[in-house]
Structure 1
Amino acid sequence: MESYTSHDWLLFWAYGSFALVFLYSLRIVLNKQIAFNTVPLIPYQFNYFILFFGALFFANEPIEMYSDKWNYQNIFNSIIDNNTTKLMNTESGFYIYNKIIAFFTNTPVVYFFITALIYLSGYLYFIHKTFAPSYRSLVFVLMIAALGFYGYGTNTIRQGLALSVFMFFFMEKKISLKLILGSLIAILLHKSLLFVVVVNFFVIKYNRKDNFIFVWVLFLVLSILLGDTFVSFFGDFLIDSDARMNSYLNDEFESYESGFKINFLVYSILPILFGWYIKRKGFEDSFFDKIFSLYVLLNAFWLLVIRVPFTDRFAYLSWFLIPFIFIYPFSKNKSLPNQNFWIAGLMLIIAFVNLLISTK
Structure 2
Amino acid sequence: MFDWIPVEVYTNVQYYVLLIISILIIVHAMVFDIKDSKSIAFFNVFGAFFIILLTIYMGQRPLSGKYFGDTANYARIYADLQQGKELIIEKDYLFNYLMQFSSNYISIHSFYQFLDILYILPIFLFSRKYFGKYWFFAFYMFITSFSFWSYGVNGLRNGLATSLFVLGLYFYDKKVLMYVCMLLGYFMHASLIIPIAALLVSGLYKNPKIYLYIWLLAIPLSLAGGGMWANFFSSLGFAEDRTQGYLTGGSDEYNSQFSQTGFRWDFLLYSASAIFAGWYFIFKKNIIDRFYIHMLGIYCIANAFWILVITAAFSNRFAYLSWFLMPAVIAYPMFRYKIWKDQYKVFAVILVLYFMFTFFMNVIK
Instruction: Return the structure number with greater helix share.
Output: 2
> For the residues of structure 1 that align with 2:184 and 2:336, how far apart are their CA atoms?
32
Distance 1:55 1:173, change over 3 A: closer
**Aligned residue number for residue 265 of structure 1:** 268
Counterpart contact for 2:71–2:154, Cα < 8 Å: yes
- For 1:188, the equivalent position in structure 2 comes to 187
- Indicate the residue corresponding to 2:198 in structure 1: 199
Shift of 1:243: 9.0
Q: 1:353, CA displacement in angstroms?
A: 0.3
Distance in 2 between residues matched to 1:189 and 1:275, nearest whole Å: 29
Q: 1:79 and 2:78 equivalent?
A: no
User: Tell me, what secondary structure is at the counterpart of 2:312?
Assistant: coil
Give me the whole-angstrom Cα distance separating, in 2, the residues matched to 1:173 and 1:112: 28
1:68-147 equivalent positions in 2, closer than 5 A: 68-84=70-86, 86-88=87-89, 91-105=92-106, 107-133=107-133, 135-147=134-146
TM-aligned CA distance change 1:308 to 1:10, over 3 Å: farther
Which is further off, 137-146 or 244-253? 244-253
Stretch moving more, 42-51 or 327-336? 42-51
Amino acid across the alignment from 2:347: I
Contact 2:161 2:189 in 1 (8 A): yes
Over the matched positions of the two proteins, sequence identity in percent amounts to: 22
| 1:301 aligned onto 2:305 | yes
Gaps of 5+ in 1: none
Residue 164 of structure 1 pairs with residue 163 of structure 2: yes
* Alignment of structure 1 residues 1-360 onto 2, 5 Å: 1=3, 4-5=6-7, 8-32=9-33, 40=40, 42-65=42-65, 67-84=69-86, 86-88=87-89, 91-105=92-106, 107-133=107-133, 135-173=134-172, 176-210=175-209, 212-235=211-234, 240-242=240-242, 245=245, 249-253=249-253, 254-255=255-256, 256-279=259-282, 280-359=284-363, 360=365
Q: What's the secondary structure of 2:190's corresponding residue?
A: coil
The amino acid across from 2:359 in the alignment is: L
Cα distance in structure 2, aligned partners of 1:62 and 1:110: 12
One-letter identity of the residue aligned with 1:210: K
Aligned amino acid, residue 250 of structure 1 = G
Q: Is the 8 A contact 1:259 1:307 kept in 2?
A: yes
Moved more, 228-237 or 320-329: 228-237
> Structure 1 CA distance, aligned partners of 2:77 and 2:91?
8
Length-normalised TM-score, structure 1: 0.90
Measure the CA separation in 1 of the matches of 2:212 and 2:280. 12
**RCO greater where, 1 or 2, for CA within 8 Å and sep 6 or more?**
1
Residues 248 and 313 of structure 2 are in contact (CA less than 8 Å); yes or no, is this contact kept in structure 1?
yes
User: Comparing 151-160 with 55-64, which one deviates more in the overlay?
Assistant: 55-64
Would you say the 8 A contact 2:70–2:154 is kept in 1? yes
Q: Tell me the distance in 1 between the aligned counterparts of 2:292 and 2:274.
A: 12
Distance in 2 between residues matched to 1:358 and 1:163, nearest whole Å: 21
Residue 239 of structure 1 and its aligned partner are, at CA, apart by 5.3
Conserved in 1, the CA contact under 8 Å of 2:246 and 2:313?
A: no
Offset of residue 173 of structure 1: 3.8
Tell me, in whole angstroms, the C-alpha distance in 1 between the residues paired with 2:242 and 2:109. Answer: 23
1:10 deviates by 2.1
RMSD: 2.6
The one-letter amino acid of 1:73's match is: A
The CA deviation string for residues 149-170 of structure 1, in whole angstroms up to 9 with x for no partner, is 0001000011111111222121
CA separation of 1:270 and 1:243: change in aligned 2, threshold 3 A: closer
How many matched pairs?
Answer: 355
Which AA in structure 2 matches 1:70? A
TM-score, structure 2 normalization: 0.89
1:65, distance to aligned residue in structure 2 (A): 4.1
> Which range moves more in the overlay, 338-347 or 58-67?
58-67
